[in-house]
Chains A and B, each alone.
Chain A
Amino acid sequence: MIKTDIVVIGGGPAGLAAALSAYEKGVKNILLIERDKELGGILNQCIHDGFGLQLFKTRLTGPEYAGIFIDRIKKTNIDIRLNTMVTKVSDDLTVTAVNEDIGAYQIQAKAVILAMGCRERPRGAINIPGTRPAGIYTAGTVQRWVNIEGKLPGKNIVILGSGDIGLIMARRMTLEGATVKGVYELLPYSSGLTRNIVQCLNDYNIPLKLSHTVTKIFGRKRIEAVEVCRVDQSLKPIPESREIVECDTLILSVGLIPENDILSGTNISMNKVTGGPFIDNRFMTEVPGIFSCGNCLHVHDLVDYVTDESERAGENAAEYVLYGQKEKESSGIPVLCGDNVRYTVPSHLSKDGKGALTLMFRVTKPMKDCTITVASDGILLLSLKRSRCTPGESVRITLPEDRVKTVLEKKTPITVSVTE
């Protein structure tokens, strides 16, 4: 069994940032495991720009953004294991991995940082009736073919779902000479970023059909057409609105799911809303020594936030390795979802947490001129105005250090609410 201080699982933006910050905090024995043949994760296929606006105040492509961190990590002594898949994580901080050269092996760590990212929801999960021909792919799969492998899967495209990758692929396919017939979104609003709707759809005259969905698939060998319907307020298709749209490819952008399959053997409890683990303000899961960050914690809309969050997860993991855990209490002080809040990250506070508290959350519906409040035991800790909040754009707020102290002393749950 190999022994090390920290194992970081995943070499995408989350894993890179977490490994680097743990290293900079003074932990020297770090092992970073990546299943692909190179570092960078999904950023490698995101050749569009817009990354880094928050963090570097400039517009970078995905590979450029990843490149900054890859260059930095190459200057460290962090042990990078490429083409290696982690198959299991255990509560005792052992990690089982496999690759072609070493075979299957185990690593004993003092802390584990989960940074596995997320995957796409497939067709089956949304149960579209009809045939099951070739030509139905998730947006990320198509993105890989077009941007990495240089293959065009089809030329007559319908996109279901207005997640960011779907929007970006609408533009990408158009630029490659394909016709995008439309982007159909079940909800009355898009789950993608506003800037993507403007830059990827509006600029190319691609219609965005809100409150619409695909209700049937036609074609036996290769997809030939889809039936689309408008939906009512309860999201039920309205049969009279039925329309047939011919296509040779259906691209799905119907949601991302944190990738946490390897945790099934652990006692880490998962938040059903986010699909990621419950964590405290140190990014530590309910199993001491296992930390989570990036899209396997909760799906982000901006990589800049992933980096920021993962750096803090890395720092906390380093502290854990260097100084151990002071507070033994497991659950801590809960952070509760108040009015119009779907989830918060973190979900609880630990006394070991230090400094100001960054809270990330999503709202349940689009809202305008709203007030965000954080309260505990009847005391208003924070109140902020926002001109708008949408479910597609996560909200980040910071609770100053003195307020966090108040909460930790009082030990009463804090509640985040948004009201119009």
Chain B
Amino acid sequence: MIYDFVIIGAGVVGCMIARELSMYRAKICLLEKGNDVASGSSKANSGIVHAGYDAKPGTLKAKLNVLGCALMEKTVQELDVPYKKCGSIVAAFDQEGTDSIRKLYQRGLENGVSELFLLNREETMRLEPNIHPGVQGALYAKGAGIVCPYQLTIAAAENAVSNGAELRLNFEVEKIEKTEDLYLIKSAKDTVKARCVINAAGVFADKVAAMADDNSFTIIPRRGEYIILDKTEGKTVNTVIFQPPSEKGKGILVSPTADGNLLLGPTASVIEDKEDTSTTASGLDEVIKGAMAAVPNIRLNKTITSFSGIRATPDTGDFIIRESEKNPRFFHAAGIESPGLTAAPAIALYVIEMIKSKGILLEENPNSVRIRQGIPRIAELPLEEQNRWIQKNKAYGKIICRCESVTEGEIIDSIRRPAGATTVDGVKRRVRAGMGRCQGGFCMPKVLEILARELQCSPYEICKNEKGSYILKEGEIEHD
């Protein structure tokens, strides 16, 4: 089998590209080294749809951010993903901050951001009653929003697979060989052949490029630590609250999430290990201090968990979306740090145009669909509708996760869907079982059982997330 396109990396960028390519008659293979899609940066980031005033005018980042923000509403409708156009503010607490937001305002206008306003103190307080009263003003971007980053990735993957793309998990690319017109992409055990390659390998995109003798860029992993609070706290703020940016990044934000929690973070620290997603006492402290500086009455005792994510910062200062200079038909979609999530739908279209511009023929596939129906959230439906689902399938009447009111039917769906869950965290990211305040204490043994039953394996084979992260380590207890 020779694939027309092999995409390396099933994060949000790889999955959105796979989805757009799946609208054409082409053989597509999406390779992922993890055992689920969205298992790197795409599962652990701020989930913000940025308006586009941050990036330097003229960069690819600026262009694709503004475009991506505009495309997001349509994308989430098509893919049935949690999203809220809640707006964002950059709050200024001193003269320096006030100067900074004025500059951002100008930059936003230059980048073509619409619905951008400078608010005075009163207007800011009215919009965000819980903000620190020392606030002096804010830059308000009405078009900004929040989206669930892993749901977006999962939905895009599912849509692509439904349209015929192939997803190969646990495929860690180790070597790329070139023949005259093909690329041979090899893992330790397997080889796939491709006419075109798209490198969307996130923090490892430089490593993948180097396998094809392309050393034109380096990805620097930067870790961001976050704290997430209970859904009871989601209404502490109305918009995404940023503080004026520094050279380290956009600073600590306080934001509702698309699912209704409250998110604080991130820090930004350059790290050595590209997969070191541990949190640190000092990092979490920094998150708390930074968040409290903007919103002093955050109820930290409602914390449900903390986590960290890695951002793929390129040494070039801009997104790297181009054909490899050394390799024809080998395209990079690399260095996609913030606002990469926002830009993802635009990056996918940009990549399609780039492919076409190289004379590669893409013929639309009339059988492909752009619509993906999400898994029903039974608990959020009116009683009569709940009952319609339960009549169709009893399992929708059995609540497994009490914190998030997730039924067995939804969990089974999350496993049986295309690009479905195979792990406890995979179920959690698809239907939120275990995502609530008890963090799976109650439902995890049940989810484990359902996974083992659906996947026809032993519960001892079920992992939390990556390969080897077994939930149960020892065997059955033998009683005399």
Contact A249 B284 (CB under 8 A): no
Chain B 226-267, CB-CB to A under 8 Å as 1, else 0, gives 011000100000000000000000000000000000000000
Interface check A199, CB cutoff 8 A: no
Ranked nearest first, the 10 interchain pairs of A and B with the lowest CB-CB distance are A124-B305, A122-B439, A134-B464, A152-B474, A221-B469, A221-B468, A103-B387, A100-B397, A103-B390, A100-B394
Partner of B439, one of A96, A105, A123, A155: A123
- 22 A-B pairs, CB-CB below 8 angstroms? A85-B399, A87-B399, A96-B383, A98-B386, A98-B399, A100-B398, A125-B301, A125-B439, A129-B283, A132-B277, A138-B441, A141-B442, A146-B477, A149-B445, A150-B477, A151-B474, A152-B474, A154-B473, A221-B468, A221-B470, A248-B473, A259-B402
A141 in complex: contacting residue of B386, B391, B441, B474, CB < 8 Å: B441
The reply to whether A106 and B284 form a contact with Cβ atoms under 8 Å apart is no
B382 to chain A, nearest CB (A): 9
Report which of B437, B440, B467, B472 forms a contact with A152, defined as CB distance below 8 A: B472
Query: Contacts A87-B405, A127-B303 given: A133-B469 contact, CB under 8 Å?
Result: yes
Q: How far is the CA of A256 from the CA of B472 in the complex (A)?
A: 24
Indicate whether B479 reaches chain A with its CB closer than 8 angstroms: yes
Binary interface encoding of chain A residues 205-227 relative to chain B, with 1 for a CB under 8 A from any of its CBs, else 0: 00000000001110011100000
Residues of chain B whose beta carbon lies under 8 Å from any beta carbon of chain A: 227-228, 232, 275, 277-281, 283-284, 301, 303-307, 379, 383, 386-387, 390-391, 394-395, 397-399, 402-403, 405, 437-442, 444-445, 459, 463-477, 479
Decide: A140 and B304 in contact? CB cutoff 8 A.
Answer: no
CB distance from A117 to the nearest CB of B (A): 11
Which residues from chain B contact A153 at a C-beta distance below 8 Å?
A: 471-474
How many Å from the CB of B94 to the closest CB on chain A?
Answer: 30
**What residues on B are CB-neighbors of A101 within 8 Å?**
394, 397
A101 to chain B, nearest CB (A): 7
Interface residues of A in 125-150 (CB under 8 A from B): 125, 127, 129-135, 137-138, 140-141, 144-146, 149-150
Complex alpha-carbon distance, A264 and B464, angstroms: 31
Residues of B contacting A176 in the complex (Cβ-Cβ under 8 angstroms)? 477
Say how far A261's CB is from chain B's closest CB, in angstroms: 7
Q: In the complex, what distance in Å separates the CA atom of A217 from the CA atom of B459?
A: 24
With A155-B473, A222-B468 given, is the CB distance from A103 to B304 under 8 Å? no
Which residues from chain B contact A133 at a C-beta distance below 8 Å? 464, 469
Kindly state the separation between the CA atoms of A369 and B215 in the bound complex, as whole angstroms: 75
Interface size for A (C-beta < 8 A) is 55
Contact check, A135 vs B473: say whether CB atoms are below 8 A apart. yes
Q: How far is the CA of A214 from the CA of B469 in the complex (A)?
A: 21
Within 8 A of B (CB), among A60-112: 83, 85, 87, 96, 98-106
Which residues from B are CB-within-8-Å of A146?
477
Chain A residues whose C-beta falls within 8 Å of the C-beta of B437 in the assembled complex = 122, 125, 261
Chain B nearest CB: distance from A217 CB in Å? 8
List A contacts of B473 (CB < 8 A): 135, 152-155, 222, 248-249
Contact A130 B279 (CB under 8 A): yes
Interchain CB contact (< 8 A) of B304 among A96, A125, A264 = A125
* Known contacts A125-B303, A151-B477, A155-B474; A222/B469 CB under 8 A: yes
Alpha-carbon distance A220/B301, docked complex (angstroms): 27
Say how far B40's CB is from chain A's closest CB, in angstroms: 14
- Output the least CB separation between B339 and chain A (Å): 26
Given contacts A103-B390, A152-B475, A221-B466, contact A98 B397 (CB under 8 A): yes
Do the beta carbons of A261 and B403 come within 8 Å of each other? yes
Q: How far is the CA of A179 from the CA of B380 in the complex (A)?
A: 45
A59 interface hit (Cβ, 8 Å): no
Tell whether, in the assembled complex, residue B445 and residue A141 are in contact, meaning their CB atoms are under 8 Å apart. Answer: yes
Q: Contacts A127-B303, A134-B465, A220-B469 given; 18 further ones with Cβ under 8 A?
A: A85-B402, A99-B398, A103-B397, A119-B438, A124-B439, A125-B303, A125-B304, A129-B280, A130-B278, A131-B277, A131-B278, A132-B278, A133-B469, A134-B470, A138-B441, A151-B477, A217-B278, A222-B470
Report the bound CA distance from A83 to B306 in whole Å: 33
- Contact A124-B303, Cβ < 8 Å, known A87-B399, A222-B473: yes
Complex Cα distance, B275 from A135, in Å, reads 19
User: Chain B residue with minimal CB distance to A264?
Assistant: B232
Q: Which residues of A contact B391 (CB under 8 A)?
A: 103
Whether the pair A104, B383 counts as a contact (CB closer than 8 A) is yes
Q: In the complex, what's the smallest C-beta–C-beta distance from B186 to chain A, in angstroms?
A: 24
Cα separation A104 to B477 with both chains bound (whole Å): 38
**CB neighbours of A5 from chain B (8 A):** none
For the complex formed, measure the closest distance between the CB of A106 and the CB atoms of chain B, giving whole angstroms. 7
- Nearest CB on B from A142, distance (A): 10
Nearest CB of A to B213, in Å: 31
* Docked-complex contact A145 and B445, CB < 8 angstroms: yes
Smallest CB gap from A140: residue in B: B441
User: Which residues on the A side are within 8 Å of B467 (C-beta)?
Assistant: 221
* Alpha-carbon gap, A165 to B81, bound state (A): 40
Interface status of A120 (Cβ within 8 A of chain B): yes
Residue of B at shortest CB range from A133? Answer: B469
